[in-house]
Amino acid sequence: MNDKEAIDMMYRCISELEMKRQVISVLQPQAEAYEVIRDIVRMANRGGGMSVGEDLVWRLKKKIEELQPKPTSES
């Protein structure tokens, strides 16, 4: 490879790298926003799971009360 070919290849590499840097500068804030939204959704799902679990406990306790034998009044 002669010097002219090497220089042309280097210019193409520079152009490619500069283009990639521009793409990264556009996509980086979007990626950060995605990560924040993902974390919020994970926290909301965990919180939702806990409230569903608490509701299940309440339902079970209520059902136990319904199934318990009623005290009979012996007069």
Q: Is the pLDDT of residue 75 over 90?
A: no
The reply to whether the predicted model has a pTM over 0.95 is no
Residue ranges of the domains in the chain?
1-52
Per-residue burial over 28-63, b if 16 or more Cβ lie within 10 Å, else e, is eeeeeeeeeeeeeeeeeeeeeeeeeeeeeeeeeeee
Distance of alpha carbon 43 from alpha carbon 48, whole angstroms: 8
| Mean pLDDT within 3-13 | 95
Q: For residue range 16-57, list pLDDT tens digits in order.
A: 999 999 999 999 999 999 999 999 988 888 865 555 456 778
